[in-house]
Structure 1
């Protein structure tokens, strides 16, 4: 007869699998709807930019996703719960589909629940999700601060004010500041504080991965901007800085799925300082399509790996 003490873990595992299946079905359906619902606008923009440039812009987005995952994994290891790369990718990429549901809570919830199946405490994975979000925003806005004033056209005069927030961004990624902020949030939620604080070395390593992620995202935008008619390398600072600023603005606007609307408006405004508004709109639409396709593709790959892993165990 089986030991009764073994039954609860099996039940929890079953519930975890049902959560995973339900989340994936709903989030994937939302992602597909996100692409299909905007195809009337995206189709003409894709023809204007060209399939060649659109496809060439995809590999940098894939690289950015890998770097972002490695930043999240490094933070998780810094708090005492290292994961193998494949397992970390399975959690990270699957949870990213939560961006296509209204509100930012779904990505957090998915990361917490999926990491729990890998024996990461919910409090730790939640703290890492918050850390990763703060780090991503701080690094992304920092890149925008540095690069946008040196962009093409009228960017220097239009974005000078970003320099004013640079000291705030630098403070936001200091381990003492982030630990205080997370413990304050835990106190509000009536949860115990972190027992392990992030280290300076861990934050620096994760910041390096995040810098690479944002730069690759900006390279994706640069490829599209060049295809839209911009000439020369002087447009590169504007493409990278404008994209990071726009994407961060979309993340900060919580109600919009994947930052839709806000991100496009901010990126279009930045790019319009160097190319025509019509060309900027085409870049925005094709970029949105490329990011959505990569998100769903990397999630599908992680699901395939998960299924293969479960069948072999």
Structure 2
């Protein structure tokens, strides 16, 4: 049985890397087309920002674990988070959560806790991201033309209210989470978070988006100068694109969906260089994927330190 488990782990890792590298190779031609004027310093800074955002994302999940009464050293949180993280590139949306439960069990974290906290972490990531996008629409930082902008502003109001309500009362999403758990034949989850802790988690995940968004802005500057005033709209667009990609059940890791949404929305942002949205979306995906691979590799290094 032990040898079978080892073989299955090797096969699973192999499948994950197949999908990852297939995506990288498919997009690399676009990366090469960016030309001789590509600013590698800005690209390197973008990579560092993305790495910082991933590191904080793992820390945020550690805070969720802490909220459920589990004090887990960051070293272990990092290992669990980034070993499981690549599971999102497998078809289906459950492998990252299943992987998290599997690796967390090695650290003595019960399956119910690891699954619940993983779901809550992803929920806060999506909630904070879409809230940022809705707030940007409402404030006029993002617009899609006069008529559409007016309609989108009004529609953003109830959406933002609902999102913020769920953010401070995550137990409202418990029936949906339990329905998902029933589908994958896992135990039901119980969500009990004080409002103060819920607000803390919402803002921590929001900070993650601002760091990821800074990486997107820096990477755009690797191609051509982009005004700093576009930083917040770009961050909001990135957050919405990642959230939509996460919710797209047919797209492992949001592949294709995220890039399409980023390119579509960036093209509508006044002042954003017209020829670049697609190149920025694809190039930033490559940067993020490389960062994820490096973080995954670091889990093996940290494990033996």
TM-score range, shorter chain: 0.7 to 0.9
CA RMSD of aligned residues (A): 2.7
Q: How many residues align?
A: 297
Q: Within 5 A, what are the aligned runs for 1:37-76?
A: 37-45=26-34, 47=36, 49-76=38-65
Give me the whole-angstrom Cα distance separating, in 1, the residues matched to 2:35 and 2:17. Answer: 23
Q: Any idea what SS the aligned residue of 1:38 has?
A: helix
1:172 Cα offset (Å): 2.1
After alignment, is 246-255 or 26-35 more displaced? 26-35
Deviations 1:179-212 (A, max 9, x none): 4544555567776544672333332332232111
Give me the whole-angstrom Cα distance separating, in 2, the residues matched to 1:24 and 1:189. Answer: 21
Q: Within 5 A, what are the aligned runs for 1:115-130?
A: 115-130=104-119
After alignment, is 31-40 or 177-186 more displaced? 177-186
Q: Determine if contact 2:174/2:191 at 8 Å carries over to the other structure.
A: no
Match of 1:150 among 115, 121, 140: 140
Give me the whole-angstrom Cα distance separating, in 2, the residues matched to 1:163 and 1:89. Answer: 37
Q: Any idea what SS the aligned residue of 2:276 has?
A: helix
Which one has a bigger Cα radius of gyration?
1
Match of 2:288 among 291, 298, 304: 291
| Aligned residue in 2 for 1:269 | 264
Q: Any idea what SS the aligned residue of 1:203 has?
A: helix
Give me the whole-angstrom Cα distance separating, in 1, the residues matched to 2:101 and 2:7. Answer: 15
| Aligned residue in 2 for 1:200 | 195
| TM-score, with length taken from structure 2 | 0.86
1:90 Cα offset (Å): 0.2
| Aligned residue in 2 for 1:23 | 12
Report whether the alignment pairs 1:212 with 2:202.
no
Q: Determine if contact 2:92/2:250 at 8 Å carries over to the other structure.
A: yes
Q: Determine if contact 1:141/1:245 at 8 Å carries over to the other structure.
A: yes
| Aligned residue in 2 for 1:83 | 72
Q: Determine if contact 1:246/1:262 at 8 Å carries over to the other structure.
A: yes
1:47 Cα offset (Å): 4.9
Report whether the alignment pairs 1:135 with 2:124.
yes
| Aligned residue in 2 for 1:4 | none
Q: Determine if contact 1:139/1:207 at 8 Å carries over to the other structure.
A: yes
Give me the whole-angstrom Cα distance separating, in 2, the residues matched to 1:190 and 1:62. Answer: 34
Q: Any idea what SS the aligned residue of 2:70 has?
A: coil
Q: Determine if contact 1:46/1:286 at 8 Å carries over to the other structure.
A: no
| TM-score, with length taken from structure 1 | 0.84
Q: Any idea what SS the aligned residue of 2:211 has?
A: helix
Give me the whole-angstrom Cα distance separating, in 2, the residues matched to 1:141 and 1:191. Answer: 28
Q: 1:79 to 1:184 in 2, by over 3 A?
A: farther
Give me the whole-angstrom Cα distance separating, in 1, the residues matched to 2:80 and 2:115. Answer: 13
| Aligned residue in 2 for 1:260 | 255
Deviations 1:63-86 (A, max 9, x none): 111121112111112222221100
Q: 1:117 to 1:155 in 2, by over 3 A?
A: farther
Give me the whole-angstrom Cα distance separating, in 1, the residues matched to 2:53 and 2:218. Answer: 15
Q: Within 5 A, what are the aligned runs for 1:176-195?
A: 176-183=171-178, 185-186=180-181, 193-194=188-189
Q: Any idea what SS the aligned residue of 1:278 has?
A: coil
Q: Determine if contact 1:150/1:238 at 8 Å carries over to the other structure.
A: no
Give me the whole-angstrom Cα distance separating, in 2, the residues matched to 1:153 and 1:224. Answer: 22
Q: 1:21 to 1:91 in 2, by over 3 A?
A: farther
| Aligned residue in 2 for 1:162 | 156
Give me the whole-angstrom Cα distance separating, in 2, the residues matched to 1:46 and 1:68. Answer: 32
